[in-house]
Every structure is written in C-alpha cells, then in structure tokens.
Structure 1
C-alpha cells in the first residue's frame, strides 16, 4: 500500500491521525480545533475514513480544497479502529504522530503538552499517552472501563491506568516495530515497553460527544479485550532479551 503525499509542500514535524466512522458532523469542528492547537508548528492532519456512509468523505474533500496540510485516506469497508489507526500511522510523514479519536471527545488543546513531554523524554521514550479525568461516558461504561484497566494493569504492568484514551503522541519509527492485531491500539504502551522503550502519561479532560452516537458497547469490548489482553501478555513473555546493537568500526 502506498500513499501520495505530493500535495504537502514540506515534510512536517508532526502528523495527526484521526480514525473515524460516520463523523461528518464532528470532523469539521475537530479539524479546526487541531489547527488552532498546533498553530506555529509544522504539522499535517490525516483523517482515516473507516467505511463511513454518512457523507464524511464529501465533507473531507470540501475541507481539503482550502487546507494543503489536510489529507484523507478511505477504507471502502469498515475495518475497525485499530486498522484505521494503523493506516494513518503508515501514511504519516512526521517522525512524531499524534492520535486522536474522531468523535470530538478528545480535546486537541492537550496535543502540545503530549508532544512536549515526548520530546523532553528523549529517544528512550516512545509514547506519551493521555489519561482521562472526569469521564463523560455512562456510569456503566465507566465502571466496566475501570475494572478492565485494573485487570490489564495488573497483568501487563505498563503503568497505564486508561488504555482507551485516543490521545497519544508516538515516535513513528518505534511504531513500525509493533506487531499488529485488531484491538492493538489499546495496547501501544505495553508494546512500546516490550521493545525496551519508556512510556509517559499526562492527564487530559474528556468531553461529551457533540453529535452522533458511540460505536462501542460494553459487552463487545469486554469479550474481545480479554483475548487481546492475554495475547499481549504472551507477546511480552516471549521477548526474552532486547538487542542493543553496536556498530562495528575499524580501528585507525
């Protein structure tokens, strides 16, 4: 799979990846907020339309005519959020990629803090993940999420209390090392640690969805998440030693 970035004049420092499905009403405002949050920085925005049928593609085409930093990639059929995030990361041209959900619940105002924390962490830090405060989901979803995160944290020991927050800043070269599977986007910190990198966290404030409805239920997340959790645990157990290659040079 190849992507044409010829419409972008210069290689950006930052790439923002937005996975979305049927978010035609939310995307325009979200893109405007991202542009304001990253004003003064070199960036591109890549929206991955995961098989929308609500006119999201038409909305994006209209916006792209006036924004040379905005790109769109479309999945003809829905492949899921993990696949959409991966497509965006593969298409990204910046060395640092910021991921954010397309429903508008993640606040782009926290993006500069994510990037600054990642840069301050140096090359040894691969990811800075947002950790949501004041969740706006229903009580049942918050309880289910809290229990799932406690179980995941106890098993994976990755220091991440909120694996479902879409706001993350990731070093793209490290991402290319990760094995892919559906549900993978919830385990990026654990996969980074598996490769020998550190992970940072910052608190972010969740917002209510402005338009549309959530694409996820409680039961479907729980059933799939259990299999993914033990799969990631197995992957980490199978990584016995992380190579630290040193280039061989001829003396003299």
Structure 2
C-alpha cells in the first residue's frame, strides 16, 4: 500500500526533542488511519539536529528529510515540506510536540469533506503572556481575513496537497494557512485538540513577533487577496 499522508516536521535547533519525536511519530504511524510517512525539514539548525535526523531516517524507512543550507524561517520550512510532498494529503506538526500526533486521526476523519482541517489548542498549557498575545494576534488576523478560525497558530493541520502546493509563499505564511485555502475557494474546519507544555528546547517566537508580525502580515495578506489569481479549467482540447 502506497503512502497517503505526509507529516511535515520543521526543525530548528531541536536536538533535545528529536528522539521523542521519533518515538511518538513511530507510535502514531502504527495507529494512523492513513498510510503515513514523516518528512523532517531542517531549517539550518546549528546544533546536532541534522545528525539526529539522519540517524532517525536511517533507522526508520517511514522517515525522510530535507535540509536547508541556512536558516530561512518556519514559513519557508513548511512551504518546502509541502512542495516536497508526493501524497494526496499533507500535515504539519511542530517538533516540540506540544500537540499530540494521535490527534491527526481526528483531523483526518474530516478531511474528505474539507480541504484544510486545523486543530484548536484546548486548555493551552502556555504562559499567561503567551496565551494572551496569541489571543490578540488571532483577533487581529480574523478581522482582516474573516476566516472564522480561533487558533491558526496551532501546529497541527491536515491539508489536501493540491491546495497546499498552491499556497503563495511569504514569511508569516504559517499564520494564514486557512485564509490561503479560502482564497482557492476551499473549505476549512477547526477541531479541538490536546495541548501540552514544552518539555525541552526553546520557543522560537516571543511576544513581539506574535503581535507585530501578524499585524504586518495582515497587510501583506490583503495585498495578496486583491492580486490573487484563481481559475478553474472547464474544458481541455
């Protein structure tokens, strides 16, 4: 049976988390509702992440990787993962594992009727400041995009690959994935998922880039929405 679902795992200096990622995603592959493989995207890590990734992929035929020459950011890593996917469905999870791989099955249950299904972090286990800044940022984004999503920063998503590959690339993209599917006249849905504290490694986003980044990116989104080209072929000769 060929693979049906690819999980993209962006990695930037996550050497302390990668063994746990291997264990948890291996467990998930064994219970996944779709035949699943994992694609690490090493975003120019400066620690031992690449060595660990290569070791994991050598030991597990369901794991593979691509590695950037230098750090390009989360949006670039996600986009590269989408563009290097050859399955009909693609998902995304952070390597800090603050969300649970088994919750992919909740999203996969709905993906036939939708083009993107995203998690909403229930009972978030982050600090008050982090939760509040995310709430404000999501409110700003909803005002601009009208996507109806409560938590686009949730690092647990499933997308039909044909839609994922058509998402225009720009920095901050990871905050606008549902809105980008709507631009393609796709259907989106959100589902509550589990959330856990970060066990190891360091968070890559602070208060300011959770607030100022989304605000600036909203204007980029409005420009893109105005200029976006969307068409459907009715007939071929």
Q: TM-score under structure 2 normalisation?
A: 0.93
Which residue does 1:63 correspond to in 2?
A: 56
Query: Within 1, Cα distance between the matches of 2:232 and 2:41?
Result: 35
**Structure 2: runs of 5+ lacking an equivalent:** none
Contact kept in structure 2, 1:27 and 1:104, CA below 8 Å: no
Which residue does 2:15 correspond to in 1?
A: 24
Report which of the two structures shows the higher radius of gyration computed on alpha carbons: 1
The residue correspondences of 1:32-181 to structure 2 (distance < 5 A) are 32-39=23-30, 41-119=34-112, 121=113, 125-181=114-170
Residue 231 of structure 2 corresponds to residue 243 of structure 1? yes
**Structure 1: runs of 5+ lacking an equivalent:** 1-9
Query: Within 1, Cα distance between the matches of 2:49 and 2:160?
Result: 28
Contact kept in structure 1, 2:136 and 2:211, CA below 8 Å: no
> Per the alignment, in what secondary structure is the counterpart of residue 196 of structure 2?
coil
Contact kept in structure 2, 1:13 and 1:95, CA below 8 Å: yes
RMSD, aligned α-carbons: 1.7
Change (3 A) 1:52 1:242: closer
TM-aligned CA deviation for residue 210 of structure 1: 1.1
Contact kept in structure 1, 2:88 and 2:162, CA below 8 Å: yes
Contact kept in structure 2, 1:37 and 1:112, CA below 8 Å: no
Query: Within 1, Cα distance between the matches of 2:236 and 2:15?
Result: 54
The number of aligned residues is 235
Contact kept in structure 2, 1:50 and 1:75, CA below 8 Å: yes
Farther-moved stretch of structure 1 (25-34 vs 169-178): 25-34
Which residue does 1:14 correspond to in 2?
A: 5
> Per the alignment, in what secondary structure is the counterpart of residue 91 of structure 2?
strand
Query: Within 1, Cα distance between the matches of 2:185 and 2:41?
Result: 29
Deviation track 1:50-90 (CA, whole Å, cap 9, x = no partner) reads 11122111111222222111101111211100011111111
Which residue does 2:207 correspond to in 1?
A: 218
Deviation track 1:180-202 (CA, whole Å, cap 9, x = no partner) reads 10111110100110111110111
TM-aligned CA deviation for residue 244 of structure 1: 3.8
Q: TM-score under structure 1 normalisation?
A: 0.88
